[in-house]
Amino acid sequence: MKIKDIITVLEEMAPLAYAEDFDNVGLLVGNPENESNGVLVCHDALENVIEEAITKNCNLVVCFHPILFSGIKKITGKNYVERAILKAIKNDIAIYAVHTALDNHPQGVNNIFCNTLGLINTKILIPKQQFLQKLVTYTVPENSEKVRNAMFEAGAGTIGNYDNCSFNSEGFFTFKGNEKSNPTIGEKGKLHTGTEIKIEVIFEKHLQSKVLKALLMNHIYEEVAYEIYDLQNSHQNIGLGMIGELENEMDEKDFLLHVKEIMIARGIRHSAFTGKKVKKVAVLGGSGSFAIKNAIQAGADAFLTADLKYHQFYEAENKLLLADIGHFESERYTKNYIVDYLRKKILNFAIILSEENTNPVKYL
């Protein structure tokens, strides 16, 4: 199996288009045309993880955090990033990162977080904006079903838990082809009138070329009329953070002790207790201070995230319990999810969970 074939599976799990603009996801090091002899899945592709991959005969390392995040001008081995890259290149090991492509996925990092805590009735905390487009096209009734189905197959027409969604209306059309035209119906040089079906579907914007290709290949007209619009709608199933509910409300201290145990957190920093029970919980794996207001607006009783600064704890305003459980801790089960996903999709192939602990934060 080639590395590019494994990448196809990874991008089904976490489409690169879901990633934030600031991020650096996808294949960071290596040739996608190379044959893979095994995959090592880790949290951070550090030098010791690359060494582990060598030992375990894996030439593709799939990491959550990208080892290459911002541009570098030299690779001399002077820091941990350059040393990891040098070792990977020297040993012909590819590195692929998922990061915010999986953060934004409805089954990704924050869903894993919620499931671990046993939250129910979950939904996205900060839905992704300006990610949807709408296509409108026109065809004769006898061609409409074929066109619709082709666009559905390409990924159009999915709204939340529903697929094959479209709006169709009937109208009256006119056209007259010039001498160079070759009309499928009617004759060139003559005005033609008839009935058409207007088809409207929405899709995630990264699917545009695929949806257009499906439209053009299955439409019977010589010249296909279509319109594409950017929508201002939020994408309710894709975005950062999640919010859900505990099956049974808990005291704030008991809740934090529960979180500490289940997320294996060595220490939790938190805002002052509000004196209220915890039922509704917002989570955002990794650095999530920017979402404090979103959690408050969503009516959360508690918000679990990481990397909070001193003054950001004041932002709780006694409206919710704000807790920093640690960056690594909030994402710790992500690599297990990636391994499970790959093993289900790629059978009889070495998919190995890294045994290296790459958490840089230590506790006394």
Longest dimension (CA), the chain: 86
The rounded Cα 197 to chain-centroid distance in angstroms is 35
- What is the C-alpha separation between 164 and 162, in angstroms, rounded? 7
Helix (H) or strand (E) holding 122: strand 120-128
Residue with tokens 């010039």: 178
Helix (H) or strand (E) holding 172: strand 167-175
Residues at the annotated binding site for a divalent metal cation? 65, 103, 327, 331
Residues at the annotated binding site? 65, 103, 327, 331
Buried b (16+ CB within 10 A) or exposed e, 138-164: bbbeebbeebbebbbebbbbbeeeeee
Tokens of 211: 């949806």
Cα distances from 133 to residues 17, 195, 234, in angstroms, run: 14, 26, 11
Residue with tokens 């006119």: 174
Closest by CA to 138, choosing from 200, 188, 192, 183, is 200
Closest by CA to 143, choosing from 228, 229, 216, is 216
Report the SS3 class of residue 349: coil
Contact 206, 150 (CB under 8 A): no
